């Protein structure tokens, strides 16, 4: 990639992705701590957008700044089902001692 990380340009594009609703948050750093000239990012995806779609879109937006292999997508957990009384349903059955 580049001889140094263009943090300002990467963040500018990630802010655009956040404004578009593709990601909710992000982290930018070196892909490998021993090699400080390649960027790696971690993004937290929006609940309605799939991992592949996020990687494809960010790969195009960040072409030349971040390698697609260095984009890590963290997807939100699905909401846990709740019991009618508002308690969280865990799927386990209590056992009498």
CATH number at residue 27: 3.30.300.30
- 59 occurs within a structural domain: yes
Full-model pTM: 0.71
What local confidence, expressed as pLDDT, does residue 5 receive? 83
Smallest CA-to-CA distance from 58 within 42, 47, 80 is with: 42
Domain hosting 18: range is 7-74
CA dist 44 and 25 (Å) reads 5
Per-block average pLDDT, block size 10, for the chain (97 residues)? Answer: 77 95 91 76 90 94 92 76 48 45
pLDDT attached to residue 23: 94
What is the spatial distance between Cα 94 and Cα 77, in angstroms, rounded to a whole number? 25
Using alpha carbons, list the distances in angstroms from residue 31 to 16, 34, 94.
22, 9, 46
- Cα(36)–Cα(79) distance, integer angstroms: 38
Q: In this structure, is residue 13 part of a structural domain?
A: yes
């Amino acid at each position: 990639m580049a001889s140094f990380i263009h943090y300002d340009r990467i963040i500018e594009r990630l802010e655009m992705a956040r404004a578009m609703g593709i990601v909710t948050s992000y982290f930018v750093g070196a892909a490998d701590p021993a090699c400080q000239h390649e960027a790696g990012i971690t993004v937290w995806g929006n609940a309605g957008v799939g991992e592949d779609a996020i990687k494809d879109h960010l790969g195009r937006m960040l072409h030349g700044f971040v390698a697609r292999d260095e984009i890590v997508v963290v997807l939100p957990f699905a909401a846990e089902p709740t019991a009618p009384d508002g308690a969280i349903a865990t799927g386990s059955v209590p056992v009498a001692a």
